[in-house]
Structure 1
Amino acid sequence: MSGSYDDSVGVEVSSDSFWEVGNYKRTVKRIDDGHRLCNDLMNCIHERARIEKVYAQQLTEWAKRWKQLVEKGPQYGTVERAWCAFMSEAEKVSELHLEVKGSLMNEDFEKIKNWQKEAFHKQMMGGFKETKEAEDGFRKAQKPWAKKLKEVEAAKKAYHAACKEEKLAISRETNSKADPALNPEQLKKLQDKVEKSKQDVLKTKEKYEKSLKELDNATPQYMENMEQVFEQCQQFEEKRLRFFREVLLEVQKHLDLSNVASYKNIYRELEQNIKTADAVEDLRWFRANQGPGMSMNWPQFEEWSADLNRTLSRREKKKASDGVTLTGINQTGDQVSQPNKHSSVSSYEKNQSYPTDWSDEESNNPFSSTDANGDTNPFDEDTPPAMEVRVRALYDYEGQEQDELSFKAGKFATFTLKYLSKRRKAGDFFSLQVLFSEVTCFSGSCITITPPNSASWYPLFGSTDFQAVWNMLGCL
């Protein structure tokens, strides 16, 4: 029960009913609440759009980071591709969530904003036109009935006061009869007062009943007028509720990616990529590229040559850096030098190597300043000798460092061979690995010619016979 009081008519409100004076204000307030609810819904959608944007950015960053980690990590083959498919999924889903963000802001948010502007009209003195119209309508409909209600309340108050006075007068008269000190005149006054109070009770009761009857007669018209204004407010609120329902359905459609064809395709494609992962295929690939399936230059019998100081060690055969030092490179054909860039030598590139660091080298230093016969180095002269060598590439090779060259299979290049040191000392060497075949590794500072078969090697370490080098190179 409410104990509030309507200042406009001065009537005490005894209940929470709509029909009580002033209780229509809750209906009027609902109009103002409708405007505020539009703001709340716009803020709600704006926050969700911001979440969609942040989520899309996080998906993109996650996909970029993990794609790099997986590609540079030890995972390989079809499982690697299946793993990376999740990053592709994230990038595509990120785009969809950005579209959701755009739909929420450009469509739903703007739709509410425009509807609010059309439905609510601000006044110069503050408030909304719709609120004032409802307030005035209820006040006009309630004013006549509230006036009669005020009369009823006054009549009731007067009647109750008369009844109270009557009861008090009767009580005094009764008590005076038992008091022998009162004279007859005083007793007569008390009896007259009782009679007057009874007449006041009858008069106030009659007035009370009359005013109440008038109020009852005015009530139907009052209810009709109030209903009419209330229905106008209901119609306005119905428009808002229906609009909110429509907007919420639109928001639901924009958020529900399960009904988007492209979203379904993303996960259908992801599932297909995962199912293509084949453990047997990956194991077969690893066996061929990193395991027993790899080719091997097995040791073979090498005839001793009197013209050579020693045989090449297996380590020298493997290292590309142990080769001829070349300058004055003159390339022929279609071969051109390419700038430094990262290129994959095989389908599995994780920047890892698995060297076999063992050797059957002789303990003697082959790089001494004198040859096997004790003679001095014939290359110790003012002008280092030079010769041109024409070689052919066995396969395509792309330079991995700035000082490396790139070649195409079958292309020829002419090199000028020079001995760079005028006087040799311990540790210096002049190394040439020659096979009457093709060149397999190129560098800006060396050429290593490796054997594709069991043909013999012709190494030179501190050779005294420069012409022998030329003769062997001429065989290329």
Structure 2
Amino acid sequence: MMKCAGRIQLRDRGQTCQRVGKRQVRKLSCKVSRHLIEKRLSIDFEHLKLTPDYAYFAAPSAFEEMSVAYDDSIGVEVSSDSFWEVGNYKRTVKRIDDGHRLCTDLMNCLHERARIEKAYAQQLTEWARRWRQLVEKGPQYGTVEKAWTAVMSEAERVSELHLEVKASLMNEDFEKIKNWQKEAFHKQMMGSFKETKEAEDGFRKAQKPWAKKLKEVEAAKKAHHAACKEEKLAISREANSKADPSLNPEQLKKLQDKVEKCKQDVLKTKEKYEKSLKELDQGTPQYMENMEQVFEQCQQFEEKRLRFFREVLLEVQKHLDLSNVAGYKTIYRDLEQSIRAADAVEDLRWFRANHGPGMAMNWPQFEDEEWSADLNRTLTRREKKKATDGVTLTGINQTGDQSLPNKPSSVSSYEKTQSYPTDWSDDESNNPFSSTDANGDSNPFDEDTTSGTEVRVRALYDYEGQEHDELSFKAGDELTKMEDEDEQGWCKGRLDNGQVGLYPANYVEAIQ
């Protein structure tokens, strides 16, 4: 046992290893005097339920390096969980550390919610993109198609709002809590907080005088009870000795003196007990006042945290409540208007005019020669196109000083030449725009498609074919020009899917 610079260290020589349960502990081979350890370290081994040999392993730091500091709670038995009991102020001190942890928990809570908002927004956007493509390429047409796609527009707009919620939670609420936590709690070198140490020191200082007197009361009480017990034993021995004729008068006199001495000890210990208890009672009001003062300081610190949490949660509520956002109500008002604008009668009328009995028909007439009739029909169709407003264009980009008008198309996506995805039909024979006709001929034209030099070209603008022998493509699509431009400005080409047809020559450019 060595004492150095106010610290006590225990050095053992020749240690052995011994397994106790599942843990490896070191047991001192040298027997250390229980009396010596109790005297130097003031440890009550009976209270700790430990033997001197194993006390080192229960708290090795207490032996290896222990600061000889006074602990108010040593030797004082706590009879209840009352705040006024010695050491029970630690729950109030712990609340300060809990406040720091709760700030961290609230930040983690908001961070997790922000991730959920972001994931939900991304899923809405992906869902809207996928289903918009399916609807636009599908057989639905007319005003009902517009109403259907309005649902996808709603999802895209709501997705933007949820991204705003995510940004508000992280950039405003999260940062606000982080800054408040940093300002309210000040970490020290040893890892604890300054506020926690101040509260701990305040309570210990307020409780130390009263705890010292309480310890004296407990000692006086213990001594008095021991004296009373000794008195009863002495009286019992004296009574038994009177009935024993073998005892001489001298022995009997000793027993009587013992009884008298025990009675005096009882009176002395009782007087001391009552005196120490009175002193404790006199110091109790000051003790309560000092403890109350430190407790109120802790209450004020906790009140700031509680009020701050309430303020932050109200801000979170405002950010999460989309019903208070003006744009949120507008989204569903626009959606309702789009759906109510759907008109079944109008859609049926459009389908009748474009795909039913309302369509124009070149009824068979007498033809002198087949090649002449075909040429006349082709010329008639080309002249008719030049006399009308022109072909329907979508997504036109201006090039230099030349621009082409973007005329709104009344033709539904039902007329698009792309083959329908398998989601809509599993019968390819129902597609009127398939690259293969009913007879299995992949070329709807009679002439040879391999004549001339084939050139790869790229579409400059979107084009939707107006007749069955015309191609449809989007700006940026690549196709193969099979024949040069004719006198009417049309070229013959082939799409990558094998479909062959006509297209305006000035809608494409050669790929360099």
TM-score by length of 1: 0.67
Residue of structure 2 aligned with 1:8, choices 72, 77, 82: 72
8 Å Cα contact 1:405-1:442 kept in structure 2: no
Matched with 1:55 is 120
One-letter code of the match for 1:17? S
Matched with 2:265 is 200
- Give the deviation of 1:125 after TM superposition: 2.9
Alignment deviations for residues 8-60 of structure 1 (CA, whole Å, 9 cap, x no partner) = 34211111010001111111111111111111111111111111111111111
**How far, CA to CA, are the matches of 2:80 and 2:101 in structure 1?**
28
8 Å Cα contact 1:142-1:226 kept in structure 2: yes
SS at 1:403 equivalent = strand
Q: Which has the higher contact order (CA 8 A, sep 6+)?
A: 1
Counterpart mapping for 1:76-155 below 5 A:
76-155=141-220
Matched with 1:174 is 239
Matched with 1:253 is 318
Residue of structure 1 aligned with 2:432, choices 331, 339, 354: 354
**How far, CA to CA, are the matches of 2:48 and 2:351 in structure 1?**
87
One-letter code of the match for 2:98? D
- Give the deviation of 1:129 after TM superposition: 1.0
SS at 2:170 equivalent = helix
**How far, CA to CA, are the matches of 2:223 and 2:110 in structure 1?**
60
Matched with 2:93 is 28
One-letter code of the match for 1:250? E
8 Å Cα contact 1:35-1:120 kept in structure 2: yes
5+ residue gaps, structure 1, are 324-334, 360-365, 368-394, 416-439, 445-476
Alignment deviations for residues 173-210 of structure 1 (CA, whole Å, 9 cap, x no partner) = 22222222222222222222112111111111111111
Change (3 A) 1:317 1:26: farther
Change (3 A) 1:345 1:405: farther
Counterpart mapping for 1:52-451 below 5 A:
52-300=117-365, 302=366, 305=368, 308=369, 346-348=411-413, 349-351=415-417, 353-354=431-432, 400=472, 402-403=480-481, 413=488
Change (3 A) 1:197 1:270: same
One-letter code of the match for 1:245? R
SS at 2:357 equivalent = coil
One-letter code of the match for 2:82? S
8 Å Cα contact 2:210-2:283 kept in structure 1: yes
8 Å Cα contact 1:63-1:87 kept in structure 2: yes
**How far, CA to CA, are the matches of 1:41 and 1:237 in structure 2?**
16
Change (3 A) 1:406 1:172: farther
Alignment deviations for residues 244-265 of structure 1 (CA, whole Å, 9 cap, x no partner) = 1000110110011111100111
TM-score by length of 2: 0.63
One-letter code of the match for 1:49? A
One-letter code of the match for 2:77? E
**How far, CA to CA, are the matches of 2:83 and 2:433 in structure 1?**
92
- Give the deviation of 1:151 after TM superposition: 0.5
Alignment deviations for residues 349-383 of structure 1 (CA, whole Å, 9 cap, x no partner) = 34364389899xxxxxx99xxxxxxxxxxxxxxxx
8 Å Cα contact 1:74-1:350 kept in structure 2: no
8 Å Cα contact 1:120-1:129 kept in structure 2: yes
One-letter code of the match for 2:363? W
Change (3 A) 1:406 1:244: farther
- Give the deviation of 1:319 after TM superposition: 11
One-letter code of the match for 1:230? F
**How far, CA to CA, are the matches of 1:291 and 1:125 in structure 2?**
87
Q: Kindly, what percent of the aligned residue pairs are identical?
A: 76
One-letter code of the match for 1:141? A
Matched with 2:459 is none
8 Å Cα contact 1:156-1:208 kept in structure 2: yes
One-letter code of the match for 2:292? E
**How far, CA to CA, are the matches of 2:150 and 2:242 in structure 1?**
111
Poorly superposed stretches of 4+, deviation over 6 Å: 3-6, 309-312, 316-320, 355-359, 395-398, 404-407, 440-444
5+ residue gaps, structure 2, are 1-46, 50-69, 382-389, 397-405, 420-430, 440-445, 448-464, 473-478, 491-500, 506-512
8 Å Cα contact 1:399-1:405 kept in structure 2: no
- Give the deviation of 1:442 after TM superposition: 6.4
- Give the deviation of 1:310 after TM superposition: 9.3
Alignment deviations for residues 155-175 of structure 1 (CA, whole Å, 9 cap, x no partner) = 000011111111111222222
Change (3 A) 1:213 1:292: same
**How far, CA to CA, are the matches of 1:46 and 1:144 in structure 2?**
48
One-letter code of the match for 1:84? T
Change (3 A) 1:31 1:309: closer
SS at 1:270 equivalent = helix
**How far, CA to CA, are the matches of 1:299 and 1:128 in structure 2?**
98
SS at 2:310 equivalent = helix
Change (3 A) 1:41 1:405: farther
Q: Alignment RMSD, CA only? A: 3.8
Change (3 A) 1:270 1:183: same
**How far, CA to CA, are the matches of 1:193 and 1:396 in structure 2?**
131
**How far, CA to CA, are the matches of 2:306 and 2:376 in structure 1?**
82
Q: Which has the larger radius of gyration?
A: 1
One-letter code of the match for 1:69? L
8 Å Cα contact 2:125-2:159 kept in structure 1: yes
One-letter code of the match for 1:273? S
- Give the deviation of 1:229 after TM superposition: 0.3
Alignment deviations for residues 89-141 of structure 1 (CA, whole Å, 9 cap, x no partner) = 11111111111111111111111111111111112232111111111111110
**How far, CA to CA, are the matches of 1:42 and 1:442 in structure 2?**
61
Change (3 A) 1:286 1:318: farther
